[in-house]
Structure 1
Amino acid sequence: MKYSHWLQAAARAGYLSRGIVYGIISFFAILASIGAGSSKGTKGALVTLLSQPFGSVLVAVLVTGLFGFVVWRLVQAVLDADNHGRDLQGIVVRLALLASAATYSALALYAIGLLGITGTDDGKLLPGLMNAVSQALGQRVFVTGLSLVFLGIAAAHWWKACSGRYSKHFDENEAPMRIVHVVSVLGLGARGIVFALLSAMIWLGIEGASTSGGDLPSTLDALKYIQGLPYGQVMLFALAVGLMVFAIYSFVESRWRRVSLS
Structure 2
Amino acid sequence: MSPNRGLVLLARSGYAARGVVYLIIGFFALLAALGSGQPADSHSSLEKLLGQPFGHALVGVVVVGLIAFAAWRLLQATRDVDHHGKSFKGIAIRVGLLAGGISNALLAFFALTLLISGLKSSKSSEEGGKTQDLLSTVLSWDYSNLLIYLVALVPLVVGIIHIIKGWKASFEKYFEADEHVMRYVRPLSRFGLIARGVAFIEIAALLALGGSRYQAMHPPGIKDAMNGLESLPMGWLVLSVVAVGLMAFAGYSFAQAFWRKINMDVPDAPHALRKRVGL
Q: Secondary structure at the match of 1:116?
A: helix
TM-aligned CA distance change 1:226 to 1:183, over 3 Å:
same
Give the distance between the partners of 1:248 and 1:195, measured in 2 at CA. 18
Give the distance between the partners of 1:127 and 1:152, measured in 2 at CA. 25
Q: Where do 1:87-106 residues align within 5 Å? A: 87-106=87-106
The Cα shift of 1:146 comes to 1.5
Task: Give the aligned partner of residue 17 of structure 1.
Answer: 17
The Cα shift of 1:240 comes to 0.4
Give the distance between the partners of 2:179 and 2:114, measured in 1 at CA. 39
**Is 1:122–2:135 an aligned residue pair?**
yes
Task: Give the aligned partner of residue 193 of structure 1.
Answer: 198
CA offsets, 1:26-77, max 9 Å, x none?
1111111011122111011111111111111111111000100001100111
**Is 1:153–2:158 an aligned residue pair?**
yes
Task: Give the aligned partner of residue 174 of structure 2.
Answer: 169
Task: Give the aligned partner of residue 84 of structure 2.
Answer: 84
Task: Give the aligned partner of residue 178 of structure 1.
Answer: 183
| Unaligned stretches of 5+ residues in structure 2 | 118-126, 266-279
Give the distance between the partners of 1:101 and 1:216, measured in 2 at CA. 18
The Cα shift of 1:93 comes to 1.1
| Unaligned stretches of 5+ residues in structure 1 | none
Q: In the alignment, is the contact (CA less than 8 A) between 1:106 and 1:122 conserved in 2?
A: no
One-letter amino acid of the counterpart of residue 135, structure 2: D
Give the distance between the partners of 1:150 and 1:55, measured in 2 at CA. 30
One-letter amino acid of the counterpart of residue 222, structure 1: A
TM-aligned CA distance change 1:175 to 1:168, over 3 Å:
farther
**Number of residues paired by the alignment?**
251
CA offsets, 1:91-120, max 9 Å, x none?
111111111111111111111111226889
Q: In the alignment, is the contact (CA less than 8 A) between 1:3 and 1:259 conserved in 2?
A: no
Give the distance between the partners of 2:169 and 2:38, measured in 1 at CA. 34
Give the distance between the partners of 2:85 and 2:36, measured in 1 at CA. 47
TM-aligned CA distance change 1:48 to 1:144, over 3 Å:
same
Q: Secondary structure at the match of 2:152?
A: helix
The Cα shift of 1:257 comes to 0.5
One-letter amino acid of the counterpart of residue 191, structure 2: L
TM-aligned CA distance change 1:171 to 1:108, over 3 Å:
same
Give the distance between the partners of 2:20 and 2:136, measured in 1 at CA. 20
Q: Secondary structure at the match of 1:184?
A: helix
Give the distance between the partners of 1:226 and 1:206, measured in 2 at CA. 19
Give the distance between the partners of 1:43 and 1:11, measured in 2 at CA. 22
CA offsets, 1:112-147, max 9 Å, x none?
11122688973754653xx4xx44xxx33x223222
Give the distance between the partners of 2:138 and 2:180, measured in 1 at CA. 39
CA offsets, 1:184-235, max 9 Å, x none?
210100000011101111111179xx54152242111101111112211111
Q: In the alignment, is the contact (CA less than 8 A) between 1:110 and 1:123 conserved in 2?
A: no
Match for 2:261 among 244, 258, 261? Answer: 258
Q: In the alignment, is the contact (CA less than 8 A) between 1:147 and 1:199 conserved in 2?
A: yes
Q: In the alignment, is the contact (CA less than 8 A) between 2:149 and 2:211 conserved in 1?
A: no
Task: Give the aligned partner of residue 144 of structure 1.
Answer: 149
TM-aligned CA distance change 1:124 to 1:96, over 3 Å:
farther
Which is greater in Rg? 2
Q: In the alignment, is the contact (CA less than 8 A) between 1:4 and 1:260 conserved in 2?
A: no
TM-score (norm 2): 0.83
TM-aligned CA distance change 1:174 to 1:8, over 3 Å:
farther
**Is 1:233–2:236 an aligned residue pair?**
yes
**Is 1:242–2:245 an aligned residue pair?**
yes
Q: In the alignment, is the contact (CA less than 8 A) between 1:155 and 1:192 conserved in 2?
A: yes
Q: In the alignment, is the contact (CA less than 8 A) between 1:109 and 1:123 conserved in 2?
A: no
One-letter amino acid of the counterpart of residue 233, structure 2: P
Give the distance between the partners of 2:73 and 2:245, measured in 1 at CA. 23
Give the distance between the partners of 1:212 and 1:14, measured in 2 at CA. 30
